[in-house]
Amino acid sequence: MPNRLRAEVLLSSAPEGGRAALEPIVTALANEAIEKTLNRRGGGRVVEWELAGPTLSITIEAPEARPHGTLLAFSRRLGEELGRAQKIGVRSLRAPEYRLEFILAVLPTTPVSIPIPHTLTLDGDRATLTLLDLDETALRENWADRAVKLLEEKIRRQSYAGKEQYWTLLRAPIAREPKFLQDPTEAMIKRQWVRGGPTKGKWFLGPSAAHLLRTMERIAREEVLLPLGFREVVQPHHDSFETLLKTGHLEGLPGEFYYVVEPKSRDPAVWERFTDLVKITQAVPTEELARLVTGPTAVLCYAQCPTTYWWLSGRTLATDSLPLLVFDRAAVSNRYESGGRHGLERVDEFHRIEPVYLGTPEQLVALRERLLERYIHVFDKILELEWRTAWVTPFFMQQAGVIASDDPHQRIQGTIDFEAWLPYRGTREGSEWLEFQNLSIVGDKYTKAFTIKTQKGELWSGCTGIGLERWMVAFLAQKGLDVDGWPDGFRRYAEPLPNELHFL
Ligand code: ATP
Ligand code: ZN
Ligand code: MG
C-alpha cells in the first residue's frame, strides 16, 4: 500500500464559487507540488479532494516518499493564489490520518508503541503505522519520519537488549603484584579520610583524600594536558535543556540527571508561609516548597562536553585555531546512579576533567595517539597501575542500538575505555574491572548538531573524561593508603602529605 495522507486545509473563509470554481487552481497547484516534492522520489497523486465551507480536505498518496512535504508546498501556494484572487488565506493545517508504510530490518519480540495517537499493524516485516490527528506543527516538524525512526530504533533495541556490551581488548595489562586487598573506600572511612556526604551518593573528602584527588588532577594537567597544548576553560554547572536536546543526552539519559528547579519568586512575602512553618515545625514543609518552586528548568552538569559544544555553537573556527584543545575542571558531574552506587568509585557527584578537542579527522586521529602516549606514561610510570584499554560501543551508539565495529580498520570513530583491576573485587579474570576514564572521537556528530564549522573541510570532535575519584580508587585499590606502598613517581607528586586528622 502507498503512504497516504488525509489532510484538511482550513481557509480564512469559504472561497467563492465552491468546488467547481476552485477545481482548476487546486489541480494546477497539486500537480505543481507533486512535481516539486515527489516526482524524483517515486511520484504520487491526489486521490480526492473536497470543499466544505472554509475547509478543503485533500488526500495524497505516494508509493515511496512520505507526502507531508507535498501538502505543505500545496497549502503555501494555495494561500498565495487565493490571497491574490479572493483575499483568502490559509489559517491552519491538520491531518486526521497519515498512513506510513515501511519495511522492518528486525522484527519486534514484544509489542512496541509511541506516545502519540496511532495504530500499528505488522504483516511479516511490512509495517503500517497510521498517525492520527496531527496538527500543523507535527506536519511542519516532520513527526512522521521521527515516529518511524523511533519505532525502528525501539525494535532494534529489543534485539540488542540483554546482549553483552561490545568490548574488545586493545592494550593488554602488565601484571603487577597488588600491595593491598581491601576496598579503598572502607579503608579511607576507617582512617577518617572521607565521610559519606549529607545527601545521597556524595562524599566529603577530608584533607588527606582531597590532597590525593588534587594530586591526581595535577598529574593529569601537568603530564597529559599541558604538554599537549590543552588550555583551560571554566564553564557553568547548569546545562540547558536545549544543549542536551542537541547532544541526545536528554532522550538518552533522562533518568540519570539531577534537575534544577528555581524559586517562582524571591519576594519574602511569597515565602512567608514557608518561613513561618519552618520556624514552628523545624522541619521542611515539602508540600509548601513544591508549590513555591518551578518545574525543572535545567540539568546539573552530567558531563562537561555538551556545554563546551554550546560555547562554540554557531561559530566558525579559523584554521590557525585548529586543532582546538580545551579542558574544563570547574563543573562537577552529577549523576543519579541509584542502585549502582558504591564507595567513591560510583558516586552521584564526582570531579572530572573533561578535555574536548576539535579538528580535522587527521588532526584528531594524531591527537588520540599522543593522548594515548601520555596516558600510558602516567599509568605505567607514575601510578604504576595494572590497567588495560578496550574498544567499546560509545554511549550515543548504544542508545541507538548500534554496536561498535569489529574491524580494526574501522576503528576511527568510537570510544576507548581505560580499566583498572580492583584486587578487592576478586581475581584478575573473575572480577569486574573499573572504568576510570575513556577517550572518544565522535566524528561530526556534535559539530553538526551545534553548527560548528571550519574555514574549509570537515570538522570532527571528541572528548576524554578523566574521572578523578576513579583514578584515586584505582590507585588506592592497588597500592593501599600507606606511602610506603606508593611508587616513587607518584610520591614525588604527592609529598608532602597533609597531617592525618585524629578524632576522639
Ligand atoms: P560507567 O559505565 O562506569 O557508568 P560511564 O560510561 O557512565 O561510566 P562516562 O559518561 O563515559 O562514564 O564518563 C567518563 C568518566 O567519568 C568515566 O570514565 C569515569 O571516570 C567517570 N565517571 C562516570 N560515572 C561516574 C560515577 N558515578 N562516579 C565516579 N566517576 C564516574
Ligand atoms: Zn564528553
Ligand atoms: Mg554510567
> What value does the mean pLDDT take over residues 427-443?
96
Work out which ligand 1 atom sits closest to the CA atom of 395: 6
Whether the pLDDT of residue 401 is over 60: the answer is: no
Q: Whose CA is nearest to atom 28 of ligand 1?
A: 346
Task: Say if CB 325 and CB 231 are below 8 A apart.
Answer: yes
Provide the 10 A C-beta neighbour count for residue 135.
12
Instruction: State the pairing for strand pair 434-443/414-420.
Output: antiparallel
Half-sphere exposure of 260 (CA within 13 A, CB side): 13
pLDDT for the residue 410: 74
> What value does the mean pLDDT take over residues 277-300?
98
Give the span between the Cα atoms of 279 and 283, in whole angstroms.
8
Residue with grid cell 497549502, as numbered in its chain: 75
Whether ligand 1 lies within 6 angstroms of the CB of 436 is answered as yes
Left, alpha or beta for 318 (phi > 0: left; psi -120 to 50: alpha)? beta
Residue-averaged pLDDT of the chain? 95
Give the span between the Cα atoms of 98 and 60, in whole angstroms.
10
**Which ligand number lies closest to the CA of residue 305?**
2
Whether ligand 1 lies within 6 angstroms of the CB of 350 is answered as yes
Q: Would you state the cell numbers that stand for residue 483, as one nine-digit string?
A: 606511602
Half-sphere exposure of 203 (CA within 13 A, CB side): 24
Whether the pLDDT of residue 313 is over 80: the answer is: yes
**Which ligand number lies closest to the CA of residue 395?**
1
Contact partners, residue 222, CB within 8 Å, separation at least 6: none
Provide the 10 A C-beta neighbour count for residue 491.
14
Instruction: State the pairing for strand pair 453-454/316-317.
Output: parallel
Whether the pLDDT of residue 177 is over 70: the answer is: yes
Work out which ligand 1 atom sits closest to the CA atom of 337: 27
Give the span between the Cα atoms of 439 and 475, in whole angstroms.
19
Residues spanned by CATH 3.30.930.10 within the chain? 166-170+205-261+301-477
Question: What DSSP assignment string belongs to 473-494?
Answer: HHHHHHH-SSGGGS-HHHHHHH
Provide the 10 A C-beta neighbour count for residue 309.
22
Confidence class of residue 164 from pLDDT cuts 50, 70 and 90?
Answer: low
Work out which ligand 1 atom sits closest to the CA atom of 417: 18
Whether the pLDDT of residue 199 is over 80: the answer is: yes
Give the span between the Cα atoms of 213 and 269, in whole angstroms.
44
Q: Per-residue pLDDT tens for 56-67?
A: 999 999 999 999
Torsion of CA 26, 30, 33, 39, to 10 degrees: -160
Confidence class of residue 345 from pLDDT cuts 50, 70 and 90?
Answer: very high
Task: Say if CB 396 and CB 442 are below 8 A apart.
Answer: yes
Confidence class of residue 399 from pLDDT cuts 50, 70 and 90?
Answer: low
Give the span between the Cα atoms of 356 and 307, in whole angstroms.
11
Whether ligand 1 lies within 6 angstroms of the CB of 352 is answered as yes
Whether ligand 1 lies within 6 angstroms of the CB of 469 is answered as yes
Whether ligand 1 lies within 6 angstroms of the CB of 68 is answered as no
Contact partners, residue 7, CB within 8 Å, separation at least 6: 57, 58, 59, 60, 71, 93, 94, 95, 96, 98, 139
Task: Say if CB 264 and CB 226 are below 8 A apart.
Answer: no
Whether ligand 1 lies within 6 angstroms of the CB of 467 is answered as yes
Residues spanned by CATH 3.30.70.1920 within the chain? 3-160
Name the residue of 333, 433, 442 to mutate for ligand 1: max ligand atoms within 8 A of Cβ: 333
Which amino acid belongs to residue 86? Q
How many Å separate Cα 357 from the centre of its chain?
17
CATH number for the segment(s) 3-160? 3.30.70.1920
Q: Return the closest-CA partner of residue 441 out of 316, 349, 352, 323.
A: 323
> What value does the mean pLDDT take over residues 159-185?
90
Contact partners, residue 77, CB within 8 Å, separation at least 6: 29, 32, 33
Backbone angles phi, psi at 80, to 5 degrees: -60, -50
Give the span between the Cα atoms of 394 and 415, in whole angstroms.
5
Confidence class of residue 403 from pLDDT cuts 50, 70 and 90?
Answer: low
Q: b/e per residue, 143-163, with b = 16+ CB within 10 A?
A: bbeebbebbbbebbbeebeee
Maximum Cα–Cα distance for the chain, whole Å?
Answer: 97
Whether the pLDDT of residue 239 is over 80: the answer is: yes
Q: Whose CA is nearest to atom 29 of ligand 1?
A: 346
pLDDT for the residue 327: 98
**What CATH fold (topology level) applies to the domain 166-170+205-261+301-477?**
BirA Bifunctional Protein; domain 2 (3.30.930)
Q: What is the DSSP letter of 18?
A: H
Task: Say if CB 7 and CB 59 are below 8 A apart.
Answer: yes
Ligand 1 centroid vs 467 CA: distance in angstroms?
7
Task: Say if CB 59 and CB 98 are below 8 A apart.
Answer: no
Name the residue of 257, 387, 470 to mutate for ligand 1: max ligand atoms within 8 A of Cβ: 470
Confidence class of residue 160 from pLDDT cuts 50, 70 and 90?
Answer: confident
Task: Specify the long-range contacts of residues 272-275, CB closer than 8 Å, at least 24 apart.
Answer: none
pLDDT for the residue 159: 80
pLDDT for the residue 158: 87
Which amino acid belongs to residue 103? I
pLDDT for the residue 393: 80
Q: Per-residue pLDDT tens for 75-123?
A: 999 999 999 999 999 999 999 999 999 999 999 999 999 999 999 999 9
> What value does the mean pLDDT take over residues 127-152?
97
Annotated catalytic sites, by residue?
305, 335, 337, 346, 354, 417, 435, 438, 463, 470
Whether the pLDDT of residue 270 is over 60: the answer is: yes
Ligand 3 centroid vs 338 CA: distance in angstroms?
11
Torsion of CA 294, 295, 300, 302, to 10 degrees: -170
Confidence class of residue 161 from pLDDT cuts 50, 70 and 90?
Answer: confident
Contact partners, residue 240, CB within 8 Å, separation at least 6: 298, 299, 310
Q: Whose CA is nearest to atom 13 of ligand 1?
A: 465
